[in-house]
Protein backbone atom coordinates (compact mmCIF):
# COMPACT_ATOMS: atom_id res chain seq x y z
CA UNK A 1 0.00 0.00 0.00
CA UNK A 2 2.82 2.41 0.90
CA UNK A 3 4.59 1.69 -2.39
CA UNK A 4 1.39 2.32 -4.37
CA UNK A 5 0.90 5.67 -2.61
CA UNK A 6 4.54 6.56 -3.21
CA UNK A 7 4.27 5.83 -6.93
CA UNK A 8 0.71 7.14 -7.35
CA UNK A 9 1.60 10.09 -9.59
CA UNK A 10 4.04 7.99 -11.62
CA UNK A 11 1.37 5.34 -12.20
CA UNK A 12 -1.19 8.02 -13.01
CA UNK A 13 1.09 9.51 -15.66
CA UNK A 14 1.76 6.10 -17.24
CA UNK A 15 -1.97 5.39 -17.33
CA UNK A 16 -2.72 8.77 -18.94
CA UNK A 17 0.03 8.34 -21.53
CA UNK A 18 -1.26 4.86 -22.40
CA UNK A 19 -4.65 6.27 -23.42
CA UNK A 20 -3.18 8.03 -26.44
CA UNK A 21 -1.89 6.46 -29.67
CA UNK A 22 1.71 5.26 -29.57
CA UNK A 23 2.91 7.99 -31.94
CA UNK A 24 1.61 10.68 -29.58
CA UNK A 25 2.90 9.15 -26.34
CA UNK A 26 6.36 10.84 -26.22
CA UNK A 27 4.78 14.28 -26.64
CA UNK A 28 2.04 13.54 -24.09
CA UNK A 29 4.66 12.29 -21.62
CA UNK A 30 6.58 15.56 -21.97
CA UNK A 31 3.43 17.64 -21.49
CA UNK A 32 2.41 15.64 -18.40
CA UNK A 33 5.88 16.29 -16.93
CA UNK A 34 5.68 20.02 -17.63
CA UNK A 35 2.08 20.62 -16.49
CA UNK A 36 2.58 19.79 -12.77
CA UNK A 37 5.57 22.16 -12.58
CA UNK A 38 3.56 24.97 -14.20
CA UNK A 39 0.67 24.33 -11.80
CA UNK A 40 2.20 23.39 -8.45
CA UNK A 41 4.96 25.95 -8.00
CA UNK A 42 3.01 29.07 -9.09
CA UNK A 43 0.27 27.90 -6.69
CA UNK A 44 2.91 27.51 -3.98
CA UNK A 45 4.11 31.03 -4.80
CA UNK A 46 0.57 32.40 -4.35
CA UNK A 47 0.15 30.61 -1.03
CA UNK A 48 3.61 31.66 0.20
CA UNK A 49 2.94 35.36 -0.43
CA UNK A 50 -0.04 35.21 1.93
CA UNK A 51 1.66 33.08 4.56
CA UNK A 52 4.73 35.31 4.47
CA UNK A 53 2.72 38.50 4.93
CA UNK A 54 0.74 36.96 7.79
CA UNK A 55 3.92 35.57 9.35
CA UNK A 56 5.69 38.92 9.13
CA UNK A 57 2.59 40.53 10.58
CA UNK A 58 2.77 38.23 13.62
CA UNK A 59 6.48 38.92 14.05
CA UNK A 60 5.78 42.67 13.90
CA UNK A 61 2.73 42.43 16.19
CA UNK A 62 0.09 43.12 13.53
CA UNK A 63 -2.53 41.06 11.72
CA UNK A 64 -1.36 41.01 8.11
CA UNK A 65 -3.92 40.30 5.32
CA UNK A 66 -7.28 39.53 6.91
CA UNK A 67 -9.98 40.95 4.60
CA UNK A 68 -10.09 38.98 1.33
CA UNK A 69 -11.46 35.48 1.81
CA UNK A 70 -11.33 33.33 4.97
CA UNK A 71 -8.69 34.80 7.27
CA UNK A 72 -7.32 36.78 4.31
CA UNK A 73 -6.04 33.71 2.42
CA UNK A 74 -7.47 34.91 -0.89
CA UNK A 75 -5.35 38.04 -0.83
CA UNK A 76 -3.14 36.56 -3.58
CA UNK A 77 -6.17 36.48 -5.91
CA UNK A 78 -6.83 40.18 -5.30
CA UNK A 79 -3.16 40.97 -5.89
CA UNK A 80 -3.16 38.97 -9.12
CA UNK A 81 -6.28 40.70 -10.46
CA UNK A 82 -4.79 44.08 -9.59
CA UNK A 83 -1.56 43.22 -11.45
CA UNK A 84 -3.52 42.09 -14.53
CA UNK A 85 -5.73 45.19 -14.83
CA UNK A 86 -3.17 47.78 -13.75
CA UNK A 87 -1.91 50.08 -16.49
CA UNK A 88 1.36 49.06 -18.13
CA UNK A 89 3.50 52.20 -18.07
CA UNK A 90 6.62 52.15 -20.26
CA UNK A 91 9.06 55.09 -20.23
CA UNK A 92 9.07 57.05 -23.49
CA UNK A 93 12.83 56.64 -23.99
CA UNK A 94 12.90 52.95 -23.03
CA UNK A 95 13.97 50.17 -25.38
CA UNK A 96 10.47 48.72 -25.56
CA UNK A 97 11.43 45.30 -26.94
CA UNK A 98 14.09 44.60 -24.30
CA UNK A 99 11.88 46.19 -21.63
CA UNK A 100 9.15 43.67 -22.51
CA UNK A 101 11.45 40.65 -22.81
CA UNK A 102 13.30 41.11 -19.49
CA UNK A 103 10.59 39.76 -17.11
CA UNK A 104 9.73 36.93 -19.54
CA UNK A 105 13.39 35.96 -19.85
CA UNK A 106 13.62 35.87 -16.05
CA UNK A 107 10.75 33.42 -15.55
CA UNK A 108 11.52 30.92 -18.35
CA UNK A 109 14.99 29.77 -17.09
CA UNK A 110 13.58 29.33 -13.58
CA UNK A 111 10.99 26.86 -14.86
CA UNK A 112 13.74 25.05 -16.77
CA UNK A 113 15.68 24.61 -13.51
CA UNK A 114 12.78 22.60 -12.02
CA UNK A 115 13.06 20.03 -14.80
CA UNK A 116 16.11 18.34 -13.25
CA UNK A 117 14.95 18.29 -9.61
CA UNK A 118 13.90 14.86 -8.27
CA UNK A 119 10.58 15.51 -6.49
CA UNK A 120 10.23 11.89 -5.44
CA UNK A 121 11.28 8.36 -6.31
CA UNK A 122 11.10 8.04 -10.13
CA UNK A 123 9.73 11.60 -10.28
CA UNK A 124 12.51 13.49 -12.08
CA UNK A 125 11.08 15.27 -15.15
CA UNK A 126 14.45 15.30 -16.96
CA UNK A 127 17.12 12.92 -15.66
CA UNK A 128 20.38 14.38 -16.99
CA UNK A 129 23.82 13.01 -16.18
CA UNK A 130 24.91 16.65 -15.70
CA UNK A 131 21.82 17.83 -13.79
CA UNK A 132 23.76 20.02 -11.34
CA UNK A 133 25.59 21.69 -14.21
CA UNK A 134 22.33 22.25 -16.09
CA UNK A 135 20.72 23.83 -13.01
CA UNK A 136 23.49 26.38 -12.58
CA UNK A 137 23.73 27.00 -16.33
CA UNK A 138 20.09 28.03 -16.71
CA UNK A 139 20.22 29.93 -13.41
CA UNK A 140 23.08 32.08 -14.66
CA UNK A 141 20.65 33.71 -17.13
CA UNK A 142 19.21 35.70 -14.21
CA UNK A 143 22.09 38.18 -14.25
CA UNK A 144 21.45 38.91 -17.92
CA UNK A 145 17.73 39.55 -17.36
CA UNK A 146 18.46 41.98 -14.53
CA UNK A 147 20.81 43.94 -16.76
CA UNK A 148 18.18 43.90 -19.52
CA UNK A 149 15.64 45.37 -17.12
CA UNK A 150 17.94 48.09 -15.79
CA UNK A 151 19.47 49.09 -19.12
CA UNK A 152 16.25 49.08 -21.19
CA UNK A 153 14.45 51.38 -18.73
CA UNK A 154 16.71 54.32 -19.68
CA UNK A 155 16.78 55.32 -16.03
CA UNK A 156 20.08 55.92 -14.24
CA UNK A 157 18.70 54.57 -10.96
CA UNK A 158 17.41 51.38 -12.64
CA UNK A 159 20.80 50.84 -14.26
CA UNK A 160 22.66 51.40 -10.98
CA UNK A 161 20.27 49.05 -9.20
CA UNK A 162 20.82 46.41 -11.88
CA UNK A 163 24.61 46.69 -11.69
CA UNK A 164 24.55 46.38 -7.92
CA UNK A 165 22.25 43.35 -8.14
CA UNK A 166 24.54 41.69 -10.70
CA UNK A 167 27.60 42.35 -8.53
CA UNK A 168 25.87 40.76 -5.56
CA UNK A 169 24.64 37.72 -7.47
CA UNK A 170 28.02 37.02 -9.08
CA UNK A 171 29.76 37.39 -5.71
CA UNK A 172 27.49 34.88 -3.97
CA UNK A 173 27.20 32.53 -6.95
CA UNK A 174 30.81 31.48 -6.40
CA UNK A 175 30.32 30.06 -2.86
CA UNK A 176 26.97 28.63 -3.98
CA UNK A 177 28.62 26.56 -6.72
CA UNK A 178 31.69 25.69 -4.65
CA UNK A 179 29.56 24.42 -1.75
CA UNK A 180 27.75 22.14 -4.23
CA UNK A 181 31.06 20.89 -5.60
CA UNK A 182 31.83 19.04 -2.37
CA UNK A 183 28.72 16.87 -2.85
CA UNK A 184 29.68 16.15 -6.47
CA UNK A 185 33.16 15.10 -5.29
CA UNK A 186 31.80 12.66 -2.71
CA UNK A 187 29.10 11.11 -4.90
CA UNK A 188 31.16 11.13 -8.09
CA UNK A 189 28.25 12.22 -10.25
CA UNK A 190 26.49 15.36 -11.47
CA UNK A 191 23.15 13.52 -11.67
CA UNK A 192 20.71 14.75 -9.03
CA UNK A 193 18.81 11.40 -8.75
CA UNK A 194 22.14 9.63 -8.14
CA UNK A 195 23.02 12.19 -5.46
CA UNK A 196 19.75 11.38 -3.70
CA UNK A 197 20.32 7.63 -4.05
CA UNK A 198 23.75 8.06 -2.44
CA UNK A 199 21.98 9.40 0.67
CA UNK A 200 19.26 6.73 0.63
CA UNK A 201 20.97 4.46 3.17
CA UNK A 202 20.72 4.10 6.94
CA UNK A 203 23.10 3.39 9.83
CA UNK A 204 20.74 1.91 12.34
CA UNK A 205 17.79 4.28 12.01
CA UNK A 206 19.62 7.47 10.91
CA UNK A 207 19.90 8.36 7.23
CA UNK A 208 23.20 9.04 5.46
CA UNK A 209 22.32 12.62 4.61
CA UNK A 210 25.31 14.76 3.68
CA UNK A 211 24.30 17.38 6.24
CA UNK A 212 25.20 14.90 9.01
CA UNK A 213 28.89 15.16 8.07
CA UNK A 214 31.14 18.16 8.93
CA UNK A 215 31.76 19.04 5.27
CA UNK A 216 28.05 18.57 4.51
CA UNK A 217 26.94 20.74 7.42
CA UNK A 218 29.37 23.51 6.48
CA UNK A 219 28.43 23.17 2.82
CA UNK A 220 24.72 23.36 3.60
CA UNK A 221 25.14 26.52 5.70
CA UNK A 222 27.22 28.15 2.95
CA UNK A 223 24.71 27.04 0.32
CA UNK A 224 21.77 28.31 2.38
CA UNK A 225 23.31 31.76 2.95
CA UNK A 226 24.34 32.05 -0.70
CA UNK A 227 20.84 31.06 -1.84
CA UNK A 228 19.39 33.94 0.20
CA UNK A 229 21.72 36.36 -1.57
CA UNK A 230 21.04 34.81 -5.00
CA UNK A 231 17.30 35.24 -4.50
CA UNK A 232 17.71 38.81 -3.17
CA UNK A 233 16.11 37.79 0.12
CA UNK A 234 16.61 39.56 3.43
CA UNK A 235 19.15 40.33 4.81
CA UNK A 236 20.68 40.45 1.30
CA UNK A 237 17.84 42.38 -0.38
CA UNK A 238 19.95 45.41 -1.23
CA UNK A 239 19.03 45.40 -4.98
CA UNK A 240 15.35 45.85 -4.10
CA UNK A 241 15.68 47.86 -0.90
CA UNK A 242 13.01 50.54 -0.83
CA UNK A 243 15.29 52.75 1.25
CA UNK A 244 18.07 52.46 -1.34
CA UNK A 245 18.06 53.10 -5.10
CA UNK A 246 14.26 53.39 -5.36
CA UNK A 247 13.38 49.70 -5.70
CA UNK A 248 16.34 48.77 -7.87
CA UNK A 249 16.31 47.42 -11.41
CA UNK A 250 12.51 47.13 -11.86
CA UNK A 251 11.56 50.64 -10.74
CA UNK A 252 10.18 51.40 -14.24
CA UNK A 253 7.98 48.28 -14.31
CA UNK A 254 4.32 48.14 -13.41
CA UNK A 255 1.33 45.87 -13.77
CA UNK A 256 1.82 42.32 -14.93
CA UNK A 257 5.49 42.84 -15.85
CA UNK A 258 6.24 43.69 -12.23
CA UNK A 259 4.25 40.63 -11.16
CA UNK A 260 6.48 38.46 -13.39
CA UNK A 261 9.59 39.78 -11.61
CA UNK A 262 7.89 39.00 -8.30
CA UNK A 263 6.98 35.50 -9.52
CA UNK A 264 10.46 34.84 -10.88
CA UNK A 265 12.10 35.81 -7.60
CA UNK A 266 9.99 33.39 -5.55
CA UNK A 267 10.20 30.56 -8.08
CA UNK A 268 13.98 30.98 -8.11
CA UNK A 269 13.97 30.79 -4.32
CA UNK A 270 11.93 27.56 -4.38
CA UNK A 271 14.21 26.07 -7.05
CA UNK A 272 17.46 26.76 -5.20
CA UNK A 273 15.86 25.50 -1.97
CA UNK A 274 14.92 22.31 -3.82
CA UNK A 275 18.51 21.94 -5.00
CA UNK A 276 19.79 22.40 -1.43
CA UNK A 277 17.35 19.73 -0.22
CA UNK A 278 18.57 17.37 -2.94
CA UNK A 279 22.27 17.95 -2.30
CA UNK A 280 22.41 18.02 1.49
CA UNK A 281 19.06 16.97 3.05
CA UNK A 282 18.54 13.65 1.31
CA UNK A 283 16.09 14.88 -1.32
CA UNK A 284 12.99 12.69 -1.13
CA UNK A 285 14.45 10.29 1.48
CA UNK A 286 13.23 10.00 5.08
CA UNK A 287 15.48 11.07 7.99
CA UNK A 288 14.80 7.82 9.89
CA UNK A 289 14.34 4.30 8.58
CA UNK A 290 11.04 3.84 10.42
CA UNK A 291 9.51 6.75 8.47
CA UNK A 292 10.13 5.34 5.00
CA UNK A 293 6.45 4.41 4.69
CA UNK A 294 5.65 8.11 4.08
CA UNK A 295 5.60 8.87 0.31
CA UNK A 296 8.88 10.20 -1.08
CA UNK A 297 7.22 13.21 -2.73
CA UNK A 298 5.69 14.15 0.64
CA UNK A 299 9.17 14.25 2.20
CA UNK A 300 10.48 16.53 -0.52
CA UNK A 301 7.68 19.07 -0.16
CA UNK A 302 7.72 18.87 3.64
CA UNK A 303 11.40 19.83 3.59
CA UNK A 304 10.62 22.60 1.09
CA UNK A 305 7.89 24.01 3.39
CA UNK A 306 10.32 24.01 6.32
CA UNK A 307 12.90 25.88 4.21
CA UNK A 308 10.27 28.46 3.21
CA UNK A 309 9.33 28.94 6.87
CA UNK A 310 12.98 29.60 7.72
CA UNK A 311 13.22 32.12 4.86
CA UNK A 312 10.21 33.98 6.26
CA UNK A 313 11.59 33.85 9.81
CA UNK A 314 14.93 35.32 8.67
CA UNK A 315 13.21 38.10 6.73
CA UNK A 316 11.25 39.15 9.80
CA UNK A 317 14.13 39.07 12.27
CA UNK A 318 17.51 39.81 10.60
CA UNK A 319 18.30 43.43 9.68
CA UNK A 320 19.55 44.35 6.21
CA UNK A 321 23.29 44.56 5.61
CA UNK A 322 25.08 47.59 4.23
CA UNK A 323 26.52 47.28 0.73
CA UNK A 324 30.12 47.14 2.00
CA UNK A 325 29.24 44.52 4.61
CA UNK A 326 27.49 42.41 1.98
CA UNK A 327 30.48 42.33 -0.36
CA UNK A 328 33.03 41.85 2.42
CA UNK A 329 31.05 38.90 3.72
CA UNK A 330 31.00 37.26 0.27
CA UNK A 331 34.67 37.66 -0.64
CA UNK A 332 36.37 37.59 2.77
CA UNK A 333 34.33 34.89 4.53
CA UNK A 334 32.03 32.86 2.26
CA UNK A 335 34.51 32.24 -0.55
CA UNK A 336 37.46 31.20 1.69
CA UNK A 337 35.20 28.89 3.72
CA UNK A 338 33.78 27.32 0.55
CA UNK A 339 37.28 26.63 -0.79
CA UNK A 340 38.37 25.21 2.56
CA UNK A 341 35.30 22.96 2.64
CA UNK A 342 36.44 21.34 -0.62
CA UNK A 343 39.75 20.45 1.06
CA UNK A 344 37.89 19.08 4.10
CA UNK A 345 35.73 16.97 1.80
CA UNK A 346 38.87 15.38 0.39
CA UNK A 347 40.21 14.75 3.91
CA UNK A 348 36.91 13.10 4.89
CA UNK A 349 36.98 10.85 1.83
CA UNK A 350 40.57 9.65 2.16
CA UNK A 351 40.41 9.28 5.96
CA UNK A 352 37.47 6.93 5.43
CA UNK A 353 39.54 4.88 3.00
CA UNK A 354 42.36 4.81 5.57
CA UNK A 355 40.02 3.19 8.11
CA UNK A 356 39.54 6.08 10.55
CA UNK A 357 36.52 5.81 12.81
CA UNK A 358 33.51 8.05 12.19
CA UNK A 359 34.06 10.02 15.43
CA UNK A 360 37.76 10.69 14.71
CA UNK A 361 36.94 11.85 11.19
CA UNK A 362 34.26 14.17 12.59
CA UNK A 363 36.60 15.71 15.17
CA UNK A 364 39.49 16.24 12.73
CA UNK A 365 37.40 17.66 9.88
CA UNK A 366 35.30 19.74 12.27
CA UNK A 367 38.42 21.29 13.80
CA UNK A 368 39.85 22.10 10.36
CA UNK A 369 36.64 24.02 9.61
CA UNK A 370 36.10 25.57 13.03
CA UNK A 371 39.47 27.31 13.44
CA UNK A 372 39.34 29.30 10.14
CA UNK A 373 35.67 30.05 10.85
CA UNK A 374 36.61 31.70 14.14
CA UNK A 375 39.56 33.57 12.62
CA UNK A 376 37.63 34.85 9.60
CA UNK A 377 34.64 35.73 11.77
CA UNK A 378 36.87 37.70 14.12
CA UNK A 379 38.38 39.62 11.21
CA UNK A 380 34.95 40.43 9.80
CA UNK A 381 33.67 41.50 13.20
CA UNK A 382 36.19 44.32 13.10
CA UNK A 383 34.95 45.29 9.63
CA UNK A 384 31.35 45.38 10.90
CA UNK A 385 32.16 47.71 13.79
CA UNK A 386 29.98 50.78 14.30
CA UNK A 387 30.99 53.73 12.16
CA UNK A 388 32.01 57.01 13.80
CA UNK A 389 30.96 60.18 11.95
CA UNK A 390 33.39 62.88 13.06
CA UNK A 391 31.55 65.86 11.63
CA UNK A 392 27.94 64.79 12.21
CA UNK A 393 25.80 67.01 14.41
Domains of the chain, by residue range, sit at 2-383
Asked if residue 248 lies in contact with residue 147, where contact means CB atoms within 8 angstroms, the answer is no
- CA atoms of 133 and 189, how far apart (whole Å): 11
Q: CB-based contacts of 36: which residues, under 8 Å, 6+ apart?
A: 9
pTM for the full model?
0.91
Q: Is the pLDDT of residue 241 over 70?
A: no
**What's residue 39's pLDDT?**
92
Average pLDDT over residues 106-119: 92
Please give the average per-residue pLDDT across 350-366, as a whole number.
Answer: 87
Section 18-41 average pLDDT: 90
Q: What pLDDT, on a 0 to 100 scale, did the predictor assign at position 250?
A: 81
Find the mean pLDDT for residues 29-34.
Answer: 90
- pLDDT, tens digit (0-9, with 9 covering 90-100), for 11-20: 999 899 988 8
CB 143 within 8 A of CB 166: yes
Q: What confidence tier does 246 reach under pLDDT thresholds 50, 70, 90? A: low
Cβ-contact 335, 322 below 8 angstroms: no
Residue 303 · residue 207 · CB < 8 Å: no
Q: How confident is the prediction for the chain on average, in pLDDT?
A: 88
pLDDT tens-digit map of 122-171:
899 988 899 999 999 998 888 889 899 989 988 888 888 888 888 888 99
CA nearest to 46, candidates 68, 82, 77: 77
pLDDT beyond 60 at 392: no
Q: Are 121 and 7 in contact (CB under 8 A)?
A: yes
> What pLDDT does 391 receive?
59
If we measure between CA atoms, which residue out of 147, 158, 213, 206 comes closest to residue 183?
213
Question: CA 14 to CA 327: how far, in whole Å?
Answer: 49
Q: For residues 118 and 99, give the distance between their C-alpha atoms in angstroms, rounded to a whole number.
A: 34
Least confident of 224-238, 292-306, 375-389: 375-389
**Burial of residue 195, with CB atoms counted within 10 A of its CB: 0-12 exposed, 13-18 middle, 19 or more buried:** buried
Question: CA 283, CA 274: separation in Å to the nearest integer?
Answer: 8
Residues 362-391 pLDDT 10s: 999 999 999 989 888 887 776 555 666 665
Helices (H), the chain: 2-6, 8-19, 25-59, 75-85, 96-114, 131-139, 141-152, 156-187, 192-199, 214-230, 255-280, 296-317, 323-329, 335-353, 358-383
35/33 Cα distance (integer angstroms) = 6
- The pLDDT tens digits for 257-291 are 888 988 998 999 999 999 999 999 999 999 998 98
Q: What is the pLDDT of residue 233?
A: 87
235 upstream amide cis, omega within 30 of 0: yes
* Average of per-residue pLDDT across 338-355: 90
Residue 347 confidence (pLDDT) above 60: yes
Closest CA to 269 of 319, 234, 244, 320: 234
- For position 165, what pLDDT does the model report? 86
Least confident of 35-49, 63-77, 266-280: 63-77
Average pLDDT over residues 184-197: 93
Predicted pLDDT at 286? 92
Amino acid sequence: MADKLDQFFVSLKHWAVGIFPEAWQPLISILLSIAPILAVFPALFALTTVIERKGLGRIQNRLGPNRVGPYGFLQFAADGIKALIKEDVVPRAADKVVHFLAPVALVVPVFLAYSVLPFGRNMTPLDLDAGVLFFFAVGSATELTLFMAGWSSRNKYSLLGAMRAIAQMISYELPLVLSSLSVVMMVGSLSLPKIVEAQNAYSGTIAHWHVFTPWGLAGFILFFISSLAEANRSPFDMPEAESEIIAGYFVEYSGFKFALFFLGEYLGLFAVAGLGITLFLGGWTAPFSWLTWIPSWAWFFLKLFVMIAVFIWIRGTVPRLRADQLMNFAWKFMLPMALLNIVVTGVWHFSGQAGWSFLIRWLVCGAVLLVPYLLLGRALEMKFARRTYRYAN
